[in-house]
Structure 1
Amino acid sequence: MSRSRPQVPFATRYARSGMVCSVDHLASEAGVSLLRAGGSAADAAVAASAVLAVTTQHMCGMGGDLWALVHHTHGEAPAALNASGRAGSGADPDALRAQGRTRMRFSSDIRSVPIPGCVDGWVSLHERFGEAPLGDVLAPAVDLASDGFPLSPHGADAATLLDGVANSEDYLPQSQPGELITRPGVARALSGITEGGREAYYEGDFGRDLIELGCGEYTAADLARSQADWVTPLGADAWEHSIWTVPPNSQGYLTLAGAWIASGLNLPPDPDDPLFAHLLAEAAKQAGWDRPAVLSDTADGAALIAPDRLAPRRAAISPDTVAPLGAGTGTGDTMYLAAVDADRMGVSLIQSNAGGWGVGLWTPTHRISLHNRGIGFNLTEGHPAEYRPGRRPPHTLAPAVVQRADGSLRSVVGTMGGDAQPQVLLQVLARSLCLGSEPAASIGSGRWRWGAAAGTGFDTWAEPGNLELRIEGHAAWASANGLTDLRQRGHHVGTDGPHDNSFGHAHLIEVHDGVLAGAADPRALTGSVAGY
Structure 2
Amino acid sequence: MSRSRPQVPFATRHARNGMVCTVDHLASDAGVSLLRAGGSAADAAVAASAVLAVTTQHMCGMGGDLWALVHHADGTAPAALNASGRAGSGADPDALRAEGRTRMRFRNDIRSVPVPGCVDGWLSLHERYGRVPLAEVLAPAIDFASGGFPLSPHGAAAAALLDGVANTDDYSPQNRPGDLISRPGVAAALHEIVVGGREAYYEGGFGRDLIELGSGEYTTADLARSQADWVTPLQTDAWGHRLWTVPPNSQGYLTLAGAWIAAGLELPADPDDPLFAHLLAEAAKQAGWDRPAVLSADADGAALVAPERLAPRRAAISPDAAAPLGAGTGTGDTMYLAAVDDDRMGVSLIQSNAGGWGIGLWTPTHRISLHNRGIGFNLVEGHAAEYRPGRRPPHTLAPAIVQRADGSLRSVVGTMGGDAQPQVLLQVLARSLCAGEEPASAIGSGRWRWGAAEGTGFDTWADPGNLQLYIEGHAAWAGPDGLADLTGRGHRVGTDGAHDNSYGHAHLIEVHDSVLAGASDPRALTGGVAGY
Q: Match for residue 491 of structure 2? A: 491
Inter-partner Cα distance in structure 2 for 1:2 and 1:95: 55
Q: Match for residue 74 of structure 1? A: 74
Task: Point out where structure 2 has 5 or more consecutive residues left out of the alignment.
Answer: none
1:173-188 matched pairs, under 5 angstroms: 173-188=173-188
Give the SS at the match of 1:451: strand
Is residue 291–residue 461 contact of structure 2 (8 Å, CA) maintained in 1? yes
Inter-partner Cα distance in structure 2 for 1:329 and 1:313: 6
Is residue 86–residue 392 contact of structure 2 (8 Å, CA) maintained in 1? yes
Task: Point out where structure 1 has 5 or more consecutive residues left out of the alignment.
Answer: none
Deviations 1:398-442 (A, max 9, x none): 000000000000010000000000000000000000011000000
Deviation at 1:2, TM superposition (A): 7.5
Inter-partner Cα distance in structure 2 for 1:432 and 1:455: 30
Inter-partner Cα distance in structure 1 for 2:76 and 2:273: 37
Q: Match for residue 429 of structure 1? A: 429
Do residues 152 (structure 1) and 164 (structure 2) align?
Answer: no
Q: Which amino acid aligns with 1:37?
A: A
Inter-partner Cα distance in structure 1 for 2:141 and 2:440: 28
Is residue 19–residue 530 contact of structure 2 (8 Å, CA) maintained in 1? yes
Deviation at 1:72, TM superposition (A): 1.3
Deviations 1:31-76 (A, max 9, x none): 0000000000000000000000000000000000000000014231
Give the SS at the match of 2:354: coil
Q: Match for residue 503 of structure 1? A: 503
Q: Match for residue 242 of structure 1? A: 242
Q: Match for residue 97 of structure 2? A: 97
Inter-partner Cα distance in structure 1 for 2:365 and 2:473: 43
Do residues 376 (structure 1) and 376 (structure 2) align?
Answer: yes
Is residue 359–residue 370 contact of structure 2 (8 Å, CA) maintained in 1? yes
1:336-485 matched pairs, under 5 angstroms: 336-452=336-452, 454-485=454-485
Q: Match for residue 166 of structure 1? A: 166
Is residue 453–residue 467 contact of structure 2 (8 Å, CA) maintained in 1? no
Do residues 261 (structure 1) and 268 (structure 2) align?
Answer: no
Inter-partner Cα distance in structure 2 for 1:32 and 1:309: 42
Q: Match for residue 279 of structure 2? A: 279
Deviations 1:308-339 (A, max 9, x none): 00000000000000000000201x41000000
Inter-partner Cα distance in structure 2 for 1:219 and 1:174: 38
Inter-partner Cα distance in structure 1 for 2:77 and 2:214: 39
Inter-partner Cα distance in structure 1 for 2:9 and 2:398: 28
Q: Match for residue 122 of structure 2? A: 122
Is residue 90–residue 216 contact of structure 1 (8 Å, CA) maintained in 2? yes
Give the SS at the match of 1:173: coil
Inter-partner Cα distance in structure 1 for 2:158 and 2:15: 33
Inter-partner Cα distance in structure 2 for 1:249 and 1:531: 33
Give the SS at the match of 1:518: strand
Inter-partner Cα distance in structure 2 for 1:6 and 1:308: 40
Is residue 254–residue 287 contact of structure 2 (8 Å, CA) maintained in 1? yes
Q: Which runs of 4+ in 1 moved over 2 A?
A: 6-9
Inter-partner Cα distance in structure 2 for 1:213 and 1:172: 23
Give the SS at the match of 2:477: helix
**TM-score (norm. length: structure 1):** 0.99
Inter-partner Cα distance in structure 2 for 1:63 and 1:172: 20
Is residue 193–residue 201 contact of structure 1 (8 Å, CA) maintained in 2? yes
Give the SS at the match of 1:526: coil
Deviations 1:426-481 (A, max 9, x none): 00000000011000000000000000353211010011011000000000110100
Deviation at 1:8, TM superposition (A): 5.6
Inter-partner Cα distance in structure 2 for 1:413 and 1:195: 33
Q: Which amino acid aligns with 2:110?
A: I
Give the SS at the match of 2:519: strand
Inter-partner Cα distance in structure 1 for 2:8 and 2:267: 23
Give the SS at the match of 1:476: coil
Deviation at 1:4, TM superposition (A): 4.3
Is residue 452–residue 466 contact of structure 2 (8 Å, CA) maintained in 1? no
Is residue 6–residue 442 contact of structure 1 (8 Å, CA) maintained in 2? no
Q: Which amino acid aligns with 1:405?
A: A
**TM-score (norm. length: structure 2):** 0.99
How many pairs align?
A: 531
Inter-partner Cα distance in structure 2 for 1:77 and 1:101: 43
Do residues 35 (structure 1) and 35 (structure 2) align?
Answer: yes
Is residue 377–residue 394 contact of structure 1 (8 Å, CA) maintained in 2? yes
Inter-partner Cα distance in structure 2 for 1:104 and 1:166: 22
Identity, in percent, stands at 85
Deviations 1:136-185 (A, max 9, x none): 00000000000000000000000010000000110001100000000000
Give the SS at the match of 1:477: coil
User: For the aligned residues, what is the CA RMSD?
Assistant: 0.9
